[in-house]
Copies of this chain bind each other. A is one copy, B any other.
Amino acid sequence: MLVKNPILNPTSKTHSEEHFTHTEVQLANRNSGIALETLRHDITPIGMHYLLSHFDIPYVEDENDWQLKIGGLVNNPITLDMQALKSLPQITQQVTLECAGNGRALLKPHWPSMPWTYEAVGTSEWKGTRLIDILKQANIKPEATEWVFSGADSGVDSGVQHDFARSLSIEMANNPDIMLAWEINGQPLPPQHGYPLRMIVPGWYGMASVKWLNQIEAIDYEFQGHQQVGTYVYKQDNDDKGIPVTSIRVKSLMVPPGIPDWYTRKRLLQSGETTLHGRAWSGFGTPIIKVEVGIGETGDDWHEAELFPANDKYAWSRWQIKWNAVAGYHPLRCRATDANGDVQPLEPPWDKSGFGNNCVQVTEVWVEDDLSS
């Protein structure tokens, strides 16, 4: 069937008309996002969960050679191998992770970095042990104020050579939900997810969940690592001192209805009753209390969707709503509200580097009365 309708025109101006460099495209080639239709799965299939690797994915042949060293300002420096870690009490959690840079490509101007649109999200079932139990073993000295977590991945960013490292305050690190994980969805971590050991800091954007974790160090000053202060800071402009990026902002996404145009990813849908559905999530385990779906060009015709409880404290919630689709062009929007009263904005919140863009997703749908091929 030959389909002729205006939304298949790649020059549509709904999205940014900005251009992207080949350097940005190369980052998008290597860092992968979820295919939005796989938001149907409660647990994102391995290989569909988003991936953002700053440096090279380390090549680890045998997890039996892996060591995690806990030192610095502690009374009892310890080194744990994977066998020791796996003999500790185990926990399993479903956690939704999102990249802090998700939505960066929608800002104007957009910051030159990984140009995510909506796809940098996923929910996995992680198995591991509680971080707090290990930190207790090491017995931190009273003068220490932070823990620094380092991975085996190394490289250069903005001219600064470093191993990937992030810190958490003592108080934050005491959250009993923070894990050291070695399994995803019932399988050993694949290399790209941090094999053999990674952190999961639920409720935070992904940069806190250090992969290929091999060192934890207690310090008594504010950690000045590049990944802590040189990036992952909300800034209005270059002069802004900034606010560290931590908790995931409230957000929702829709499973695109109907069938796609290959190139534009815009949608064609048979007219009649259909069910729109998707996912919604927020930070620090804050429950989602409402998802609304906006239908039409103006985006002010909002309908409350049915919301299902999340499978786990830090996992996304599923939502759905019936829609009687009539022929024509219908931009669809979804907007989540969390228990703190935070609501997704209609336009991208400005951030110089494109962090924390939780603006409402727009899905362009063209409904036809005779779509069946």
Chain A residues in contact with chain B, CB under 8 A? 1-4, 8, 10, 15-30, 32-38, 40-41, 45-49, 51, 53-57, 59, 105, 112-113, 115-119, 154-157, 159-163, 190-193, 256, 259-265, 268, 371, 373
Integer count of this chain's copies in the complex = 2
By a CB distance below 8 angstroms, the chain B residues around A259 are: 55-56, 154-156, 161
The closest CB in chain B to the CB of A48 belongs to B192
- How far does the alpha carbon of A55 sit from the alpha carbon of B20 in the complex, in Å? 24
By a CB distance below 8 angstroms, the chain B residues around A23 are: 10, 15, 263-265
- How far does the alpha carbon of A34 sit from the alpha carbon of B29 in the complex, in Å? 8
- Within the complex, the shortest CB–CB distance from A194 to chain B, in Å, comes to 12
Contact A37 B59 (CB under 8 A): yes
Contact B156 A3 (CB under 8 A): yes
By a CB distance below 8 angstroms, the chain B residues around A22 are: 15-18, 20, 105, 117
- Within the complex, the shortest CB–CB distance from A121 to chain B, in Å, comes to 11
Contact A3 B190 (CB under 8 A): no
By a CB distance below 8 angstroms, the chain B residues around A117 are: 22, 25-26, 29
- How far does the alpha carbon of A256 sit from the alpha carbon of B256 in the complex, in Å? 37
- Within the complex, the shortest CB–CB distance from A43 to chain B, in Å, comes to 11
Contact A373 B161 (CB under 8 A): yes
Contact A155 B262 (CB under 8 A): yes
Closest 5 CB pairs of A and B: A32-B32, A47-B47, A19-B19, A28-B28, A157-B262
- How far does the alpha carbon of A46 sit from the alpha carbon of B189 in the complex, in Å? 11
- Within the complex, the shortest CB–CB distance from A52 to chain B, in Å, comes to 10
The closest CB in chain B to the CB of A56 belongs to B37
- How far does the alpha carbon of A15 sit from the alpha carbon of B116 in the complex, in Å? 21
| Contacting residue for A57 out of B38, B154, B162, B265, CB 8 A | B38
Contact B156 A261 (CB under 8 A): yes
| Contacting residue for A112 out of B48, B190, B263, CB 8 A | B263
- Within the complex, the shortest CB–CB distance from A87 to chain B, in Å, comes to 26
Contact A115 B3 (CB under 8 A): no
